A and B are shown apart, each in its own frame.
Chain A
């Protein structure tokens, strides 16, 4: 049972336009969400995160939006650049101290291609 879902395996965007990557989750105990970027042959690198007490967090060209009622979050990249071409992973965790706590669960990723 996949708790974090990224339903779009790939996305192509023109340079300078907005990239929107989506993520859905099923576990209502998740209270912290993260986005990672991964280039081939490298480890994932942290991009941006958001706590469940917020609905938006911004860091430069990257903005994450959280809709708790819909159990949905999205990553906006504006403007998109060719160097943003990578696989993007959504992740979620919980501070709930029960069975399965402390896990950091990832989606399957979305491959973003930014076309010059």
Chain B
């Protein structure tokens, strides 16, 4: 298995509260990605990183922020969670732009 860990695996939170999801890798891969998976929408890119402190927005970045202060960790923050952010979140890592990406097991987030 690729050395990628997501935490927490499950979380229930209330509307309006901040939430941070963590993605940790032991592979020293340059690229890291956050996706959300929703029925009928597939995997949609939220934010991605191409190096320490280098991040960019994806397709559905509104309401989310990210940080990457070291190679192994990529944090996704929901500043003020809303019910529309109830989803399954996946982190992925990738060594290069012409290589495969490895995914974590996912975090199921429920905003009530």
Contact = CB atoms under 8 A, between A and B. Distances in A.
Interface of A: 6, 31-32, 34, 36, 41-46, 49, 51, 89, 91, 93-95, 100-109
Given A104-B94, A105-B45, 15 more contacts: A43-B105, A44-B43, A44-B103, A46-B100, A46-B101, A100-B56, A101-B97, A102-B50, A102-B56, A102-B97, A103-B45, A104-B45, A106-B45, A108-B42, A109-B42
B98 interface: yes
A76 to B, nearest CB: 19
The 9 A-B pairs with the shortest beta carbon distances in the complex, nearest first, are A108-B42, A43-B103, A106-B43, A46-B100, A95-B97, A102-B50, A109-B42, A32-B98, A44-B103
Q: Chain B: interface secondary structure?
A: strand
B98 A43 contact: no
Contact of A93 (B35, B42, B43, B97): B97
A108 B35 CA distance: 12
Among A34, A106, A109: residue with most chain B CB under 10 A: A106
Nearest to B98: A32
Contacts, number: 64
Given A106-B43, A109-B42, A95 B98 contact: yes
A102 B48 contact: yes
A42 B105 contact: yes
Contacts of B42: 6, 89, 106-109
21 contacts: A36-B103, A42-B105, A42-B106, A43-B90, A43-B106, A44-B43, A44-B90, A44-B103, A91-B43, A93-B98, A95-B98, A102-B50, A103-B48, A103-B56, A104-B45, A104-B101, A106-B35, A106-B44, A108-B42, A109-B42, A109-B43
